[in-house]
Structure 1
Amino acid sequence: MNHLQGIHHVAYRCRDAKETVDFYHNVLGMTFVIAFAEDHVPSTGEYDPYMHVFLDAGGGNVLAFFELPQQPEMGRDPNTPEWVQHIAFKVDSEDALLAGKARAEAAGCEVIGPTDHGIFRSIYFFDPNGHRLELACDIGTDQEITELRRVAPDMLEEWSRTKKAPRHADWLHAKARASHRSQT
């Protein structure tokens, strides 16, 4: 296998390509970079007109969407809670996180957070298509990240056996709770 060089793009479905591009540009500051429109799917040859739009998510990352006007209305997996499937974007500071929150709220989005996860803080909101979005800024120390990497295999092994949250990183949750208490 060739060595992977990263993710070329991640693609999701949207209800309206223009509305989606406008949202991601106006709320998250992404640049609309490429669009493809076809009547036939190149990989299968089937007739299924679509618009495929690509947005620059920063750092060489590309987020893409398909508008599929002849397909049934888009939905989501009813067996998966809406908080599980989401797109998380990294911001460089807590100030940028709060600015993102203000921008999303100004666009009419209901925003949850900031939520403290111990090594990063996040806000959450939905795009016009119902995709949950997260903005996250790292706050963890190098020592904390190193420790989490050290215990990750043990945590996964314990989870695999018990399906209960392992306690290898209780210190992380205590840190987040302490931060939450100091902010309230």
Structure 2
Amino acid sequence: MPEAISGLHHVTAIASDPEENVDFYTDVLGLRLVKKTVNFDDVTTYHLYYGDGVGSPGTILTFFPFGAGQRGSVGRGQTSATAFVVPEGSLDYWQERFDDHGVEYDAVEERFDEHVLPFYDHDGQPLELVTGATDIEPWDGSDVPVEHAIRGFHGVTLLSADAEATVDVLETMGYERLEETGHRTRFAGAGDRAAFVDVLDDPEASTGMQGAGTVHHVAFRVSDDDAQMAWREELAETGLRVTPQKDRRYFRSIYFREPGGVLFEFATDGPGFDADEPLAELGSELKLPPWLEADRESIERSLPPLAAD
């Protein structure tokens, strides 16, 4: 059997306005914009990556900001929340910060002996801050005090359209069932970072609709190409339809849709976000892969300007 999946690599979501997206995730949440590139499958749209100071696997939230397109609605068959880790004692700070920035949030709740602050971004995407510990050092280039700063992902919640089948896939991936409460069952990967996946089994929930404010896919970590190809073979043998490997410049990927409706990706740890710019300059310029450089002029004309440009 291939190596067990340790946790998340990244989460990719859909947004509306790219400028508002940058403002929210850098100015409000205090994350670093680690890469500004384009959607390789639709070069008229940015692909924006946020994370810690170097874009470590397990910290990266990415967006396709499609502009004034269709608004999504979160429901069955989708990721219903993406959760970040913050240190114990930080939620009061974040509630005050959200008040200052006009961010919508819900009351703090207790879940599996953790404190959870649910909130929403500018497009209404459900997010959470969860108290805990991780090996990630936070980005220290924002005005968020380091002692309260986000330290990568805690995990994701999947509102599955077929919870039993989703669980089967997670267990094939080496995820271990930990505990459950109500409709929620928690699973953990083999690592200490971004390890948790919660599965919700709520047949009364409405079916989700993809659009701004929803997650496009969830990516899990694999160490390298060999591990990825071993997983591709393993998953295909279970009957899942897995794509060929795709070069995403900063990692390589395979994709499949698990039976509960969520698009999964397995992404390699390397080559990393310093493949085309120094760490000190991450996110400062529009970066294109070599196969798109010849079209740079037309691509730049098609993209809306960002204040950071």
TM class by shorter chain equals 0.5 to 0.7
1:32 and 2:190 matched: no
Match runs of 1:139-154 below 5 Å:
139-140=270-271, 144=275, 146-147=277-278, 150=281, 152-154=283-285
Q: Which residue number corresponds to residue 62 of structure 1?
A: 196
Q: 2:257 pairs with 122, 126, 130, which one?
A: 126
Shift in Å at residue 67 of structure 1? 0.9
Opposite residue 176 of structure 2, the aligned amino acid is T
Structure 1: give runs of 5+ residues left out of the alignment.
38-50, 156-167, 175-184
Opposite residue 56 of structure 1, the aligned amino acid is A
Structure 2: give runs of 5+ residues left out of the alignment.
1-92, 94-147, 294-309
Query: Sequence identity of aligned pairs in percent?
Result: 24
Q: Which has the larger radius of gyration?
A: 1
User: What CA RMSD, in Å, does the superposition of the two structures yield over aligned residues?
Assistant: 2.7
Q: Which residue number corresponds to residue 21 of structure 1?
A: 167
Q: Is the 8 Å Cα contact of residues 251 and 272 (structure 2) preserved in structure 1?
A: no
Instruction: Work out the CA distance in 1 between the residues paired with 2:164 and 2:177.
Output: 10
Give the number of the structure whose residues are more often helix, by fraction. 1
Number of matched pairs: 144
Q: Is the 8 Å Cα contact of residues 253 and 268 (structure 2) preserved in structure 1?
A: yes
Instruction: Work out the CA distance in 2 between the residues paired with 1:120 and 1:142.
Output: 9
Shift in Å at residue 149 of structure 1? 6.4
TM-score normalised over the length of structure 2: 0.41
Q: Is the 8 Å Cα contact of residues 90 and 137 (structure 1) preserved in structure 2?
A: yes
Q: What CA deviation, in whole Å up to 9, does each residue of 1:157-184 have, x standing for no partner?
A: xxxxxxxxxxx3343757xxxxxxxxxx
Shift in Å at residue 53 of structure 1? 1.2
Q: Is the 8 Å Cα contact of residues 250 and 271 (structure 2) preserved in structure 1?
A: yes
Q: Which residue number corresponds to residue 75 of structure 1?
A: 208
TM-score normalised over the length of structure 1: 0.66
Q: 1:111 pairs with 217, 242, 251, which one?
A: 242
Q: 2:184 pairs with 52, 60, 85, which one?
A: 52
Higher RCO (C-alpha 8 Å, min separation 6): 2
Instruction: Work out the CA distance in 2 between the residues paired with 1:97 and 1:151.
Output: 26
Q: Which residue number corresponds to residue 87 of structure 1?
A: 218
Change (3 A) 1:58 1:115: same
Instruction: Work out the CA distance in 2 between the residues paired with 1:143 and 1:151.
Output: 7
Q: Is the 8 Å Cα contact of residues 246 and 253 (structure 2) preserved in structure 1?
A: yes
Moved more, 141-150 or 104-113: 141-150
Secondary structure in structure 2 of the residue aligned to 1:25: helix
Secondary structure in structure 1 of the residue aligned to 2:244: strand
Q: Is the 8 Å Cα contact of residues 56 and 63 (structure 1) preserved in structure 2?
A: yes
Change (3 A) 1:29 1:145: farther
Instruction: Work out the CA distance in 2 between the residues paired with 1:169 and 1:147.
Output: 15
Opposite residue 36 of structure 1, the aligned amino acid is T
Change (3 A) 1:53 1:4: same
Opposite residue 169 of structure 1, the aligned amino acid is L
Q: Is the 8 Å Cα contact of residues 163 and 199 (structure 2) preserved in structure 1?
A: yes
Opposite residue 246 of structure 2, the aligned amino acid is T
Shift in Å at residue 25 of structure 1? 0.5
Change (3 A) 1:119 1:142: closer
Shift in Å at residue 62 of structure 1? 0.4
